[in-house]
Every structure is written in structure tokens, then in C-alpha cells.
Amino acid sequence: MPGGIGVPTDTDGDGRYEDVNGNGREDFADVVLYFNQMGWIAANEPVAAFDLNGNGRIDFADVVALFNRL
């Protein structure tokens, strides 16, 4: 993902990538990168893997869901 330092990972095994920047942990940098790359994620990544609130699309609600995990 542009701006990440590694490959996004699923930190809890639920099929969704919470570690967006690939640094091995969930942190505020993941929230910022997700927000900045929402359009890129929607166009280039499997939506189900990044749809953190389960509504079937990439949107600001996913950013909020990611932030609430911190």
C-alpha cells in the first residue's frame, strides 16, 4: 500500500487487515494511512479485507472502526 512500510496484516485473524501500514501492530499510523488511502484501497485491494465495519464498502466509517480498536 502506498505510504506503508510493509504488507498489511490481519492482527486478530478475523479476515480484515487492521495493521494497514504493515509495521506489525495496530496504531494511530494505521488510521492515518487508511484515511489517506481510502480511494486507493477501494480501487486496488479486496474490499472485504479492509471493510472494517462490515457494510460492504470502503468509507469513513471504516476509519472510525479502526480508530475505535486502538
Reported as a single tens digit per residue, the pLDDT across 5-52 is 999 999 999 999 999 999 999 999 999 999 999 999 999 999 999 999
Please state the φ and ψ torsions of residue 9, each to the nearest 5 degrees.
-135, 155
Number of C-beta neighbours around residue 27 at 10 A: 14
User: Could you say which architecture CATH assigns to the domain 7-70?
Assistant: Orthogonal Bundle (1.10)
**pTM of the full predicted structure?**
0.94
Domain ranges of the chain: 7-70
